[in-house]
Structure 1
Amino acid sequence: MTGRTDTPQDRFCLVGIFFFILGLGTLLPWNFFMTASLYFQSRLNNTETGNETVVRKEYHFNNWMTFLSQLPLLVFTLLNSFMYQRISEAIRIAGSLVFILLLFILTAVLVKVEMHEEDLFFSVTMATIWFINSFGAVLQGSLFGLVGLLPQKYSTVFMSGQGLAGTFAAIAMLLAKASDADPESAALGYFITPCVGTLVTLLSYLLLPRLEFARFYLNRSSKYEEGTTDKLLTDGTPLENGKLNGHANGAVASVALDSSGQDEAKLETSPDRSKQADSSAEKASVLEVFKKIWVMAFCVTFVFTVTLSVFPAVTVDVKTAFPHGKWGHIFIEVCCFLVFNINDWIGRTVTTWIRWPGKESRVFPALVVSRVIFIPLLMLCNVQKRYYLPVAFSHDAIFTLIMALFSLSSGYFVCLSMSYAPQLVEPKDAETAGALMTFFLALGLSVGAALSFLLRSLV
């Protein structure tokens, strides 16, 4: 066996570029549907009659979209032990990308299809959102496991790609609206963009095992084979043992609980895995790990509960104080989606240099809980239609400032919570801690999405 001096180099940073693209591709479904919420609402809710806009029926599209986007993440986090043990990595990743591409193509085609029955269009759209985010959840967990086999900096690159997915979607929507095309053609161009993006993501995955640097690290695991691309492009034979566990960087990990609450790492009982079984027997129980990281688990759950309870279900209905002209046409795309995604990415990135408060500081959970103040602040902005609360902040600049602080703190505290948790346990239990944190992250997203129904109705 060659020593580490023979470690190949990542020439031209191609592996880093591919993992950045893969990170970007994992969150395209959520971000493109979320940013296009006004397009879906216009097809569902409104009829133009002269200068008046008449609401035919309230579908609460933003609430249902958020809920049906995040619930699959929770479901597949709970099912990941079955998924990652029985379905090969190649099938999970490439298969998910193919189905996501087909569903994006369907969404683009429906732009040109007139549906006079709004209920039918709503049902088809909700089903598409459910399935596309289900495949996205499988894809995200599988890719986190894959990137975890490489040096740590590639996980950072992968998550940077994820962080910029929302900005990519917001810019695509701005370009579509800025064009001189009619609304239907602009929407078609918008939804063709993620089709191209998903295709590029698929090609990046297929080309990855052809790079020497990637093969060196990925082949160190018996759960990845060099022939990924060849098998997919030729006979389609799934890889044997093509399974990946997640890692402690916030990935979806294959952790199953037996009746005694122990971390069940003994997936198979073949003789050649006896050493793995002995090693896993020394790991702490899931309950013991949870007792050490419960503060971080609470923090990541609370951060996402607050964030998803008002974004985008409440924030997307904020109206500009200057509705006339081009600004009124792009206000939400700029001040809601673009501001949120850029500042969320900045919040995550700044943790590379700033890590305050410390992981054992009582100030940390206190600051996380204090983010609840953003809920009433955003509800008191110029959200329309409203029935109960007054408008306290009608100016666009105030809304933009609140959104910037809201998203900056969300990205910052999420990233700190996810990185602190594995540091609170022994190295042998870091994977279990990562899996637990991913479950609570998904739980926070789902609870926040469910809570958005109540908060939007209270405005």
Structure 2
Amino acid sequence: MTTTSDRDTSANYDVNKFANSFNSQDESNVQLISVTPKPEQSFITKRNGAAHSEFGSPDEKNKFISLNSAPVQLDPGLDSLHRSAQFTNDEKHSLDHPPPDRYRMVFFIFLIHGIGILMPWNMFITAKKYFEDYKLDTPTSKDATYRSEFMFYLGIVSQVSCALISCVNTFFQFGGRASTRRIAIAIFMMVIIFIFTVILAMIDTSSIPLIFFGLTMASASLLNCCGGVYQNLTFGLAAILPMKYTNAIVLGTNLSGVFTSVINLLSIAGAPNPRTSAVYYFIVAIVVLLVAFDCYFLLPLTKYYQYYLKSVHGSQPVDEKKMACGDYLRAFVDSCKTYWVVIKKPGPKRVWIPIVLRALVLIPVYLLCNYQPIGVVRRFPVYIPSDIVFILAGIIMAFTSGYYSSLSMMYGPKEVEPSMMGRAGMMMAFFLVLGITSGVNLSLVLQRLVTTKLV
């Protein structure tokens, strides 16, 4: 026969046992559980004429969380806002199934990054008339070489700077993943340089055209250095995601040119004064970069990106603040060895064939068409006088360039191990920039080959 004291002792033992196990748990695994005595240990008391157990009625017990329930967790995912309870239950079923990219938030984030990456380059080349026919059209610089060949100098300075800094940024990544902190610094620096460009547009520089030219070239160089870092690391971030997110960046870079051209036309139509339209024009670039800056901080808050980031098992980025000179050298050597391993695995092995064929066919077509800029003469006669052929060749070149660059950028990172995807994405971005730089310089060489200045 069990006495009341025995029941009290047994109940106290259970409570003490629970308390000890509770104290031994890690804080991250804390759960709220109900403490109920065993059926044979319960006794009935009279309260207001009704029978109640010592620990309350069954309805009161249900207000607590059962022992088998999951612990309460905070959900920092931005894409978890305003979701239904059904989505919360579905999300728990397995870690093998990634959460959906709700509202295509991650896709649009990378699309905006793609627009921001080429914004500096597109802004400067689209404002050709502003630089040549307004800022540099002065009595002292009207016939100067730096005015007549402004785009030549701009192309060299911009693309070479972008390629060099992209190379440095690619081969000085330690730990196998992109140092995302550099993205924020690059975007912030681009905003500062555009603010300086707006100030130059508001100042009368007619008496100092050469100084204005030098400052413009310096601004273009710094902008494209930051753009090279920005582009390189963004492709590295997207490499761990499905291929369509890399394509979102490429799509954004293509839309950047269209967007910039439209903004240029609207600024000219809205403000006939060249100085005012230039101010509005460059302010739009600042706004776009600020939106991209916000997107940089939004990306890690999405559960979709968090899932793929955790699924990449590999070495983590090294804290460069704690590295000595010898550490940098050893890390650089190790990094080069890893890059060679990645290079030995490129994407579709035959994708280079159509790329080479289009260059061998279309470039000679351009040279034989009716190409003759103002102020120069051709070295040999025109063999294809039809402008339609020139336009069709341009359309084919643009279409195939967008298609094959997207194909290469999407497939490249997927040919390596998950831990190397970020590094492969940065390498693909570097070689893309290197190819563009080589193409720009080759076009200048071909221009000199076909034409010569009037005497």
Q: What CA deviation, in whole Å up to 9, does each residue of 1:298-331 have, x standing for no partner?
A: xxxxxxxxxxxxxxxxxxxxxxxxxxxxxxxxxx
1:105 aligns to 2:195 (yes or no): yes
Tell me the equivalent position of 1:368.
Answer: 359
Work out the CA distance in 2 between the residues paired with 1:92 and 1:135. 9
C-alpha deviation, 1:68, in angstroms:
1.5
Q: CA RMSD in A?
A: 4.1
Gaps of 5+ in 1: 49-53, 226-238, 244-255, 266-282, 297-354
Work out the CA distance in 2 between the residues paired with 1:84 and 1:426. 17
Task: Verify the 8 A CA contact 1:284 1:429 in the aligned structure 2.
Answer: no
Q: Secondary structure at the match of 1:387?
A: strand
Q: What CA deviation, in whole Å up to 9, does each residue of 1:206-252 have, x standing for no partner?
A: 12222222323234458999xxxxxxxxxxxxx97599xxxxxxxxx
Tell me the equivalent position of 1:321.
Answer: none
Tell me the equivalent position of 1:305.
Answer: none
Q: What CA deviation, in whole Å up to 9, does each residue of 1:120-139 have, x standing for no partner?
A: 01100000010011011111
Tell me the equivalent position of 1:268.
Answer: none
TM value normalised by structure 1: 0.63
1:445 aligns to 2:446 (yes or no): no
Q: CA distance change for structure 1 residues 85 and 374 in 2, over 3 Å: closer, same or farther?
A: farther
Tell me the equivalent position of 1:40.
Answer: 131
Work out the CA distance in 2 between the residues paired with 1:47 and 1:99. 31
Tell me the equivalent position of 2:234.
Answer: 143
Task: Verify the 8 A CA contact 1:63 1:453 in the aligned structure 2.
Answer: yes
Q: What CA deviation, in whole Å up to 9, does each residue of 1:126-155 have, x standing for no partner?
A: 000100110111111111111122222222
Task: Verify the 8 A CA contact 1:89 1:242 in the aligned structure 2.
Answer: no
Work out the CA distance in 2 between the residues paired with 1:370 and 1:429. 36
Q: What CA deviation, in whole Å up to 9, does each residue of 1:177-229 have, x standing for no partner?
A: 2225312111111111111000111011112222222323234458999xxxx
Q: CA distance change for structure 1 residues 119 and 39 in 2, over 3 Å: closer, same or farther?
A: same
Report the AA paired with residue 145 of structure 2.
E
Q: CA distance change for structure 1 residues 396 and 439 in 2, over 3 Å: closer, same or farther?
A: same
Work out the CA distance in 1 between the residues paired with 2:101 and 2:244. 12
Report the AA paired with residue 36 of structure 1.
A
Find the partner of 2:224 among 123, 126, 133: 133
Tell me the equivalent position of 2:46.
Answer: none
Work out the CA distance in 1 between the residues paired with 2:365 and 2:408. 19
Tell me the equivalent position of 2:394.
Answer: 403
1:26 aligns to 2:117 (yes or no): yes
Tell me the equivalent position of 2:8.
Answer: none
* 24-33 or 383-392, larger mean C-alpha shift: 383-392
Tell me the equivalent position of 1:56.
Answer: 143
1:85 aligns to 2:174 (yes or no): yes
Q: CA distance change for structure 1 residues 262 and 157 in 2, over 3 Å: closer, same or farther?
A: closer
Q: What CA deviation, in whole Å up to 9, does each residue of 1:65-94 have, x standing for no partner?
A: 111221123212331255422997342011
Task: Verify the 8 A CA contact 1:263 1:432 in the aligned structure 2.
Answer: no
Task: Verify the 8 A CA contact 2:236 2:426 in the aligned structure 1.
Answer: no
Find the partner of 1:71 among 138, 160, 179: 160
Task: Verify the 8 A CA contact 1:89 1:224 in the aligned structure 2.
Answer: no
Task: Verify the 8 A CA contact 1:224 1:242 in the aligned structure 2.
Answer: no
Tell me the equivalent position of 1:264.
Answer: 338
Work out the CA distance in 2 between the residues paired with 1:203 and 1:430. 25
Aligned residues: 346
- Percent of aligned pairs with the same residue? 29
C-alpha deviation, 1:396, in angstroms:
7.1
C-alpha deviation, 1:421, in angstroms:
5.9
Task: Verify the 8 A CA contact 2:366 2:390 in the aligned structure 1.
Answer: no
Q: What CA deviation, in whole Å up to 9, does each residue of 1:263-304 have, x standing for no partner?
A: 237xxxxxxxxxxxxxxxxx8485xx2xx86xx9xxxxxxxx
Work out the CA distance in 2 between the residues paired with 1:92 and 1:64. 28
Tell me the equivalent position of 2:260.
Answer: 169
Work out the CA distance in 2 between the residues paired with 1:215 and 1:420. 22
Work out the CA distance in 2 between the residues paired with 1:429 and 1:91. 19
C-alpha deviation, 1:174, in angstroms:
1.5
Tell me the equivalent position of 2:283.
Answer: 192
Higher Cα radius of gyration: 2
Work out the CA distance in 1 between the residues paired with 2:259 and 2:110. 16
Report the AA paired with residue 306 of structure 2.
R
* Structure 1 residues 281-296: aligned runs within 5 Å: 284=341, 286=343, 289=344
Q: Secondary structure at the match of 2:376?
A: coil
Q: CA distance change for structure 1 residues 61 and 364 in 2, over 3 Å: closer, same or farther?
A: closer
Report the AA paired with residue 183 of structure 2.
I
Q: What CA deviation, in whole Å up to 9, does each residue of 1:26-49 have, x standing for no partner?
A: 11111111111221112454359x
Work out the CA distance in 1 between the residues paired with 2:357 and 2:127. 35
Task: Verify the 8 A CA contact 2:239 2:413 in the aligned structure 1.
Answer: no
Work out the CA distance in 1 between the residues paired with 2:342 and 2:255. 36
Work out the CA distance in 2 between the residues paired with 1:360 and 1:454. 27
Q: CA distance change for structure 1 residues 371 and 396 in 2, over 3 Å: closer, same or farther?
A: closer
C-alpha deviation, 1:110, in angstroms:
1.0
Find the partner of 2:376 among 358, 366, 386: 386
